[in-house]
Structure 1
């Protein structure tokens, strides 16, 4: 095959042996050589591509925790507090009051056929002081059809009276997660997956299974391309037969602009079934599809008050959160998948959830030692220094939700954590000091996909109000770039294939208009992604 030689103003490789260069040679979709032009003359015949001569090239960004739902959610009504852009690049205004939300719901209902359920997403009651969304507020907006609103974290939903009736939830008021009003009746708020299941049954579809749609996966790829991402996860995939077929079909398309790494949702299967399914899937991948990860959900979200917190609990006195499965079940699942030699990515938001999983991993390692398990705590927004030291000792990786500092930092300072504890949200600097393999992520669609914004959050530690939150846990730009490239690749067990521009790896790159190591750190989130390169194929942005 022919050789293409790409040149740039600067190539930042993330390879400590050769940190930067001006040229990179690509053959058969892989990196053939890297270095200065004069050192690559012995490659033989090549084609010089100078279209990026005035740009800066980095390894393609690796998003280690996001969801293909980012490509599916936009078929529904957006009700988030912050403005966003959809996969086509269209702007959606944020919703900043209850009245505005109700009006947007009425307008959407008027566009739908009679009796068709109205589904919306992105709403976050934590931004509305003194208010908790309930069925009465929704009934005031829409009462002639079932209405479902997914909260921003996707760990909580609120439904109207029609939906409560259709799902027959009035008969199941004792189930954990079905919140009640003063009269002991369901108030419309449903917390965590078990409580939401009846709604999915009544609707005849499970939102979390819409990642099986080719259109959703295609839109997801476009969002990734615009953000400079060349390897992306779907970190809660049921891996149904339909879903596996869709993943294989979409990634087989030569023009699909991203590599996909789905993680099987452990709670969707018994351990025996899940292990067998994932082992079978490992034979079905391709260069753009990499099976092998298990996703285990423990608690919920701190801002949704469903995360499990150690003493003293929530700063404002709110009751503790909810387990998505009994703790003994979660411990057993960790042992089962660990013994099977599989890699776990474990949702842990509150420090009680972190403690439970560290206990489980330590027990599993004692029974079945594995020197390179790379089990990864996902989010770990609130983790103590003692837990960090323990994670380092156990060989655990971390993938922190750095965007959380911006979107919910103010809320945690005032309401959920208080002054002292909010300073150690996403303690990235501490993880670095302890040499813990660390990545960071967006959790899209919970927050917008954008690794450069995520890097900005980690460096600046700035909330949406402009306040500084825990500057001592801020990191430098170079470390932030490492966490969204090679660091994330390591947590996915793909660092031998992606994450740096080294000979033999996939020729996956992001092309930027400016150099992130030369501009002021506060401008990181403003950098424009000019193009991505996946396996040597260029995907230019609009």
Structure 2
């Protein structure tokens, strides 16, 4: 028979434990217990609690103090005793550049909270837009400095369509550019078109629709076309990556929404941008983990894959790299998404292919072969079917039962 009450002595170093477990048992790694006003666990079996134990930055237990406190020494931290704690939220589709855009003029339809917590009021029609732009124009001291805005969603406007001539009323001297809420369109004035080299006849490009006078209307469609003009209208050459101040602003936005992990779903990830993101996200008070995806634009799939594999090696606890974002088509509200029959309700022509179908197929195959995650923007149903067909073909060559490829907006 075994005497279960007999005392057994042993040496901790002889037991097969991790060094952290040994440190804890030896008292070298202290368990910390946090007291809160209330802890929302989101676990239906234990929905609320008041105490939470943490070891080496990881949550061990949640419950009442008598249940979770260890027999060995521990530290009781009451710094959150007047606060409600809850698990951090995950934002599955966001863009770092919103933080940088707050240095520009907000032109959205809906009221929106700024990173500092104050509200920016929305505009309801073109008349209000022009009024807001004129006021901003008067505050800019340099008459040639660009006036940049963002968040525009004219699908809600019922007074008139927006073109370059309306923006020319605001200023015929400084370049003006207003990015749409979808990020798939940009409206600019005549000065902006001239600086970009597009204020001329003879242009035949789906990203530059023409007005009645044969000149571009000022509506810029598609990511690659937009990239040709952003630096002329104050949005910067690499507006998708933003800057250090913008990334810190984005962190503030996350904190206000309770988000602790956010996806950055389209970033060109230049060397300069990656260095900036690594630096800012490593700051002690940066409040979120960023999962940034390399946007496949201006690069072939064969060139992209090795770059993404190298980027993955630079990942840290707060900045995850090594995945790909593909944009197949545009946006439905901007009439640039690819739709199947019967198409758009207003008779608008079908949208744009941002990425050639054969490149999507090739990218999927190479990504599967190299275990790289791919997110694909497919706004229209035709784009969704294309992406599914491409993935089916790629999986036939490189079968994966847990690839986790994702279609956004479909």
TM bracket, shorter-chain basis: 0.7 to 0.9
- What is the alpha-carbon distance in structure 1 between the residues aligned to residue 235 and residue 123 of structure 2? 27
Shift of 1:364: 1.1
**CA distance in 1: counterparts of 2:402 and 2:259, whole angstroms:** 26
Q: Which one of 57, 70, 95 corresponds to residue 123 of structure 2?
A: 95
Whether the aligned pair in 2 keeps the contact of 1:259 and 1:287 (CA below 8 Å) is yes
Query: 3-state SS of the aligned residue for 2:98?
Result: helix
For structure 2, list consecutive stretches of 5 or more residues without a partner in the other structure: 1-28
Q: Distance in 1 between matches of 2:316 and 2:227?
A: 33
CA shift for structure 1 position 277: 1.4
Match in the other structure for 1:157 = 186
Greater CA deviation, 203-212 or 251-260?
Answer: 203-212
1:288 aligns to what?
318
Report the Cα distance in structure 2 between the residues aligned to 1:52 and 1:313, rounded to whole angstroms.
55
The root-mean-square deviation of aligned C-alpha atoms, in Å, is 2.2
**C-alpha contact 2:111 2:121 (8 A) present in aligned 1:** yes
Deviations 1:12-45 (A, max 9, x none): 4456886654432112221122334322122632
Query: For residue 301 of structure 2, what is the aligned residue in structure 1?
Result: 271
Within the candidate set 175, 180, 199, 2:205 is matched to 175
Q: Structure 1 regions of 5+ residues with no counterpart?
A: 381-542
Query: How many Å separate the matches in 2 of 1:95 and 1:205?
Result: 21
The structure 1 residue matched to 2:166, chosen from 132, 137, 140, is 137
Q: Which moved more, 1:277-286 or 1:164-173?
A: 164-173
* Matches of 2:331 and 2:238, distance apart in 1: 17
Return the match for 2:331 from 301, 305, 309: 301
**Scaled by the length of structure 2, what TM-score is found?**
0.86
Q: CA deviation at 1:254?
A: 1.5
Please state whether the residue corresponding to 1:292 is helix, strand or coil: strand
Asked if 1:219 is matched to 2:249, the reply is yes
Tell me the equivalent position of 2:156: 127
Judged with a 3 Å threshold, the aligned counterparts in structure 2 of structure 1 residues 202 and 92 are, in CA distance, closer, same or farther, namely: closer
- Select the structure of larger CA radius of gyration: 2
Distance 1:202 1:155 in 2: 17
Aligned-partner Cα distance in 2 for 1:273–1:353: 24
Is contact 1:13–1:20 with CA below 8 Å preserved after alignment? Answer: yes
Shift of 1:305: 1.2
Taking the aligned partners of 1:177 and 1:263, their CA distance within structure 2 comes to 25
Matched length: 380
Relative distance call for 1:279 and 1:15 in structure 2 (3 A) is farther
Q: Is 1:83 equivalent to 2:111 in the alignment?
A: yes
Q: Secondary structure at the match of 1:48?
A: strand
| Partner deviation per Cα, 1:466-508 (whole Å, 9 max, x = no partner) | xxxxxxxxxxxxxxxxxxxxxxxxxxxxxxxxxxxxxxxxxxx
Which among 312, 315, 339 is matched to residue 345 of structure 2? 315
Q: Secondary structure at the match of 2:358?
A: helix
Distance (Å, rounded) in 2 between the aligned partners of 1:250 and 1:201? 24
Aligned residue number for residue 12 of structure 2: none
Structure 1 56/374 Cα, relative in aligned 2: closer, same or farther at 3 Å?
same
Q: Is the 8 Å Cα contact of residues 176 and 195 (structure 1) preserved in structure 2?
A: no
How many Å separate the matches in 2 of 1:279 and 1:375? 17
- Is the Cα contact below 8 Å between 1:331 and 1:356 reproduced in 2? no
- Give the Cα–Cα distance (whole angstroms) in 2 for the partners of residues 372 and 268 of structure 1: 29
Alpha-carbon distance between aligned partners in 2 of 1:345 and 1:144, rounded to the nearest angstrom:
41
Counterpart-to-counterpart distance in 1, 2:390 and 2:49? 44
CA contact (8 A) 1:80 1:95 kept: yes
For the structure 1 residues 200 and 94, does the alpha-carbon distance in structure 2 shift closer, same or farther, using more than 3 Å as the test?
closer
TM-superposition CA deviations, 1:394-432 (whole Å, max 9, x none): xxxxxxxxxxxxxxxxxxxxxxxxxxxxxxxxxxxxxxx
Which range is displaced more, 129-138 or 238-247? 129-138
How far 1:71 moved relative to its partner?
0.8
1:129 CA displacement: 2.1
2:177 aligned residue: 148
Distance (Å, rounded) in 1 between the aligned partners of 2:234 and 2:302? 27
Contact 2:148 2:234 in 1 (8 A): no
| Alpha-carbon contact 2:328-2:354 (below 8 Å) kept | yes
Could you give the per-residue CA deviations for residues 175-213 of structure 1, whole angstroms, max 9, x where no partner exists?
121111123321111111122132135458645446351
Among 367, 381, 386, the alignment partner of 1:337 is 367
What do residues 85-119 of structure 1 show as CA deviations (whole Å, max 9, x unaligned)? 21112221111122221121112112221211111
Q: 1:335 to 1:206 in 2, by over 3 A?
A: farther
Larger mean Cα displacement after TM superposition, 56-65 or 214-223: 56-65
Relative contact order higher in (CA < 8 Å, ≥ 6 apart): 1
After TM superposition, list the pairs within 5 Å mapping 1:11-22 onto structure 2. 11-14=39-42, 21-22=49-50
Distance 1:243 1:55, change over 3 A: same
1:175/1:195 contact within 8 Å kept: no
The 5-angstrom pairing of residues 185-264 of structure 1 reads 185-200=215-230, 202=232, 206=236, 208-209=238-239, 211-264=241-294
